A and B are shown apart, each in its own frame.
Chain A
Amino acid sequence: MNDTQPFTATTTIRNRIESSRSDVEEWKKQQNALHQSLWLCEDLVQFANFIFGRILSLDSASQMDVLSGKSTFDKELDDAIESLIRDWMTTFSPLLDSTKRVAQDYGNVDGAEAFHENFREAEGILTPDDEFFVGDKLVALRDQALAEHRAGQTEPLFEDE
């Protein structure tokens, strides 16, 4: 190695560092964008969950009003609640995939699991019961209940019955 070689090497290394600087800056920008994407995604997911909870609370409250005799069944309100559920699904369905993508980068998106459960619940709500509540397990449970009932192992639904 002659006297100039170390300097040449340092220059080469310095150039490499400098050329990397823009890569690091670009990576930082991407990371910032990803962080923002994560935060935005989590905000949206939490909001979606909050709204879904509000819809279900509204439904429960109106159902209790009817069951307790405070009001009669209101078809317009009933249709409006169903419409809200459909709108909720349409609006937030893009989050189904984006939460998975963001989770791949960060491992966790707060509220995503609840969101996916809510989405599945919404799908179930909008599916007719005779299409949703099917399957051999239900038949097997029914048979088991029948056997228990005929063996005298069931109990009155109401204590005063």
Chain B
Amino acid sequence: MSDTRKNYRRREFQQLLDRLPREIRNLALAAFRQFCIDPALTSLRHRALKDTGKGAHLAGSFSVSINRQYRAIYFVDGDTNVWYWIGSHADYDVFTGGR
């Protein structure tokens, strides 16, 4: 099932993408292309993240697996998927300041 929504990204998302190892970047681009064709593709492990009820946006976010180590995260705004974070679990720990 094709995803007909448009896909936009934050500028910082591209910076995060550019900082990834080349192999992972290539995987990510392949994953995004496949996501547009079939978001439900098993290996993308498309998951809804829990909505904390906080924040300005009513709907929650979704994660897509680049591979087991890396995730890209987006939310839906109208007819658009807005991609706003990408990285490994370790990167996420750094982003959140550790656990």
Contact = CB atoms under 8 A, between A and B. Distances in A.
Nearest to B88: A121
A67 B10 contact: no
Interface of B: 6-11, 14, 23-24, 26-27, 30-34, 41-43, 45, 47-50, 52, 54-57, 61, 63, 65-69, 71, 73, 75, 77, 80-85, 88-90, 92-93, 95-97
Contacts of A142: 55, 57, 61, 75, 84
B34 A67 contact: yes
A129 B54 contact: no
Contact of B80 (A125, A134, A136, A149): A149
Given A73-B43, A149-B80, A157-B83, A138 B9 contact: no
Top 9 A-B pairs, shortest CB-CB distance: A124-B89, A145-B84, A157-B7, A67-B30, A139-B55, A154-B8, A129-B63, A73-B42, A129-B47
Contact of B67 (A63, A124, A140): A63
A59 interface: yes
A130 interface: yes
Contacts of B52: 134, 136, 139
Contacts of B97: 137
Contacts, number: 147
Given A130-B49, A156-B7, A143 B92 contact: no
A150 B77 contact: yes
Interface of A: 56, 59-60, 63-64, 66-68, 73, 75, 78, 81-82, 85, 117, 120-121, 123-125, 127-150, 153-158, 161
Given A143-B55, A156-B8, A129 B49 contact: yes
A138 B96 contact: yes
A64 B96 contact: no
Given A138-B73, A148-B10, A67 B82 contact: no
Contacts of B61: 133, 138, 142
Contacts of A140: 55
